Structures are given as C-alpha cells and as structure tokens.
C-alpha cells in the first residue's frame, strides 16, 4: 500500500493568480526515497509544502495512509503534521537555544504546553534525543547554541529534530542547497542511512540532479508546474533531463 498518494494536485497562491501546480499525480511507497527535481520556479517546493498543508492546494487529493489531507482542520491537521517530519533548506533552528533543546522541539506535538514551557520532557524523549545526536555525530555539541554551529552541523541538528518526531513520512525541502558539495553529499548519505534504518519513506525536493540520481530510487520531474517524468531513477536519461530543464533560466 502506498504511504502517500497525490492525485491531480493543483495549487495557486491567489484566487486570480497563475497555477503553480497543474494536475500532479504520483505515489510514494513505504521504502521510497523519492526525489522531486526541476528548474527554479517549477513548483517543487510548493508540491512538498502541500503535503503537510503549509500550502493549501486549490484542487486534487492528497491521501496519507488513506487520510484525505486537504480536508483536515484543527486538531486533525496538527496530528497529521506530527506524523510528517520536515527538513528545511535554511535549517529553521532556534539560534538562541541549545542543540539539545532544538532536537527536543521535535516532540512538541506530543508534549503539553506546560511541560514544554519548563522543558520537562520525559526521560525516554531525552534519551532518544541523545541517541539521535550520537547518530548524526553531534553528541559533544549537546549544550552548544545552534548559532555556534557550521551549516553542515546545523542541518544535522535539523535531521535529528525531524526524526525526533518518529515520523511516518519525511519531507526534505532543498536540504543541501545552503551547503558546499562535499557536505551536501555527507548530509544526503546521512539522511539516506538513518531513514533506511528507521524505515521512514522520504520525499525530497532537490535542485542537485547528481545527488538525486545517486541517493533516490524514484524521481518526479517538474517543469512549469507540470509533471514531465515519474519513474525509477535508473530510467532518467540525459535527453529527459534536457527536456525537463530546457526552460531553466541561467
């Protein structure tokens, strides 16, 4: 059974504005590391953000474990977002907080407001956070402020925070665009290893086609909001890439 099914998805940012997504359909299986590629402005980030309703679609269906995402409101929408982790392009850490507190913020959907205010997280959550920080190689930075870290280290904190949710799906919104090529490959390798071990499917908006082909098993290619390709990574060839990126403005 597909973890995620997207059917004829459309999106626009205003009632009279142009369509950013134009009838996109695809599905993500339980063992997928799925890439979304395409030129700037093709709708990649909008597509990712429709899945957890950071952007509201204007049409179509999004089924997440058979829940119709576009119809969820209030508490049901909060529960959905608890099940979907997200790793952001610009890290989205709270700079003045410690590495540990940033990772523990991944449990806010499970912890009451009073406990959160006094940072009274359960012992199991604290141990889980320490285990994740160990896996991303930041255990010695537990008490450091987030703004004292390098870009690669900050993204590792973002990975640990997203996995702290125990998500059923992980969304990656350009997770390497703020990093140099060497660190980008290390970050993608880390995400792939950890999500494979934890059996968490991923949907990754990524501009670097080389990384997409190296780490992802399936690819959807977008151009001007339309789907140009949807299939296994090994079936993506240079002629299709040329077609997807023919409208890229350099």
Q: Which domains does the chain have, with CATH numbers?
A: 31-58+80-244 (3.40.50.300)
Contact 72, 66 (CB under 8 A): no
**pLDDT at res. 127:** 94
Element (H, E) at 160: helix 151-164
The pLDDT of 245-249, averaged and rounded, is 76
Residue 113's pLDDT is what?
55
Q: What is the pLDDT of residues 37-81, one digit of tens each?
A: 999 999 999 999 999 999 999 999 999 999 999 999 998 998 999
Q: Please, what's the largest Cα pairwise distance for the chain?
A: 56
d(CA 120, CA 141): 20
3-state SS, 201-247, equals CEEEECCCHHHHHHHCCEEEEEECCEEEEEEEHHHCCHHHHHHHCCC
Q: Which of 162, 172, 160, 150 is nearest to 100 (CA)?
A: 160
Nearest to 203 by CA among 162, 164, 236: 162
**Ramachandran assignment for 19, one of left (phi > 0), alpha (psi -120 to 50 degrees), beta (any other):** beta
Q: 3-state DSSP call for residue 98?
A: strand
SS3 state of residue 131 = helix
pLDDT at 115: 54
Checking if the pLDDT of 17 tops 90, the result is no
pLDDT value of residue 247: 72
Predicted local confidence at residue 90, as pLDDT: 81
| pLDDT on residue 177 | 87
Q: Which helix (H) or strand (E) covers residue 146, if one does?
A: none
Give CA–CA dist 229/223, Å, rounded: 9
The whole-number average pLDDT for the span 10-33 is: 94
- In this prediction, residue 117 carries a pLDDT of 52
pLDDT tens, position by position, 115-130: 555 566 888 999 999 9
Q: Is the pLDDT score of 178 beyond 90?
A: no
**Token couple for 179:** 């990093």
Give the chain's radius of gyration (CA, Å). 18
User: For position 243, what pLDDT does the model report?
Assistant: 94
Q: What is the mean pLDDT of residues 13-37?
A: 94
pTM, to two decimals: 0.91
pLDDT value at residue 118: 52
pLDDT band at residue 109, thresholds of 50, 70 and 90? Answer: confident
Residue 158 clears pLDDT 90, i.e. is over it: yes
Portion of the chain with pLDDT greater than 70, in percent: 95
């Amino acid at each position: 059974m597909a973890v995620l099914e997207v059917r004829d998805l459309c999106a626009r940012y205003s009632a009279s504005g142009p369509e950013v997504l134009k009838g996109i359909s695809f599905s993500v299986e339980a063992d997928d590391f799925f890439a979304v590629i395409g030129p700037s402005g093709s709708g990649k980030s909008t597509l990712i953000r429709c899945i957890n309703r950071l952007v509201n679609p204007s049409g179509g269906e999004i089924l997440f474990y058979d829940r119709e995402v576009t119809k969820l409101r209030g508490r049901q929408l909060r529960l959905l977002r608890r099940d979907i982790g997200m790793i952001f392009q610009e890290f989205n850490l709270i700079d003045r907080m410690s590495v540990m507190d940033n990772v523990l913020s991944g449990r806010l959907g499970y912890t009451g407001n009073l406990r959160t205010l006094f940072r009274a997280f359960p012992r199991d959550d604290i141990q889980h956070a320490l285990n994740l920080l160990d896996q991303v190689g930041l255990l010695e930075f537990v008490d450091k402020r987030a703004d004292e870290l390098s870009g690669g280290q900050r993204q590792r904190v973002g990975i640990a925070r997203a996995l702290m949710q125990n998500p059923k799906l992980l969304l990656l919104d350009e997770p390497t665009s703020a990093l140099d090529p060497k660190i980008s490959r290390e970050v993608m390798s880390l995400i792939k290893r950890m999500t494979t071990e934890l059996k968490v499917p991923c949907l990754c908006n990524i501009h670097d086609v080389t990384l997409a082909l190296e780490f992802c098993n399936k690819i959807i290619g977008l151009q001007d909001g339309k789907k140009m390709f949807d299939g296994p990574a090994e079936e993506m060839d240079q002629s299709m890439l040329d077609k997807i990126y023919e409208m890229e403005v350099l």
